[in-house]
Amino acid sequence: MTTNTEIQTPADLLNSPFLKAIAQQIRANDAYGTYRNWSDELLLKPFVVSKAQKREISVDGDVDPITKGRILAFYRAIAHQIEAETGALSQVVIDLSHEG
């Protein structure tokens, strides 16, 4: 038995509602308009890392503010998708510190 696997191109992946929601959250929390003219692909690049890049990420010490922003954007996008699918309000409650 063979299975047909469909390989998605980066353009197909960027049309995902979840990835669009992440890009929307990044732009919504951009107080200075820095990301206004950036493409979705450029905005989402830090969210997609290889296994080698993942191994290089330090887990010691405090989480830097840029990484905190990415984590918050990720969970806010999940909340947005839940609201869109269910119509129920959802709120992100997350507290990142050096203690875990």
* Tens digit of each residue's pLDDT (9 = 90 or more) over 48-69: 888 898 888 877 777 788 888 8
Q: How far, in Å, CA of 33 to CA of 97, rounded?
A: 27
Q: Looking at the domain assignment, is residue 4 inside a domain?
A: no
Q: Provide the residue type at 63 as one letter.
A: V
Q: How far, in Å, CA of 25 to CA of 28, rounded?
A: 5
pLDDT grade, residue 1 (50/70/90)? low
Q: Looking at the domain assignment, is residue 77 inside a domain?
A: yes
Which of 47-70 are b and which e, b meaning 16 or more Cβ less than 10 Å from the residue's Cβ?
eeeeeeeeeeeeeeeeeeeeeeeb
Q: Looking at the domain assignment, is residue 100 inside a domain?
A: no
Answer yes or no: are the C-beta atoms of 74 and 22 closer than 8 Å: yes
Number of structural domains, the chain?
Answer: 1
Q: Looking at the domain assignment, is residue 5 inside a domain?
A: no
Tell me the pLDDT of the chain averaged across its residues. Answer: 83
Q: The domain containing residue 79 runs over which residues?
A: 10-46+59-86
Q: Looking at the domain assignment, is residue 54 inside a domain?
A: no
pLDDT of residue 60: 77
CA torsion, points 92, 93, 96, 99, in degrees to nearest 10?
-150
Q: Looking at the domain assignment, is residue 23 inside a domain?
A: yes
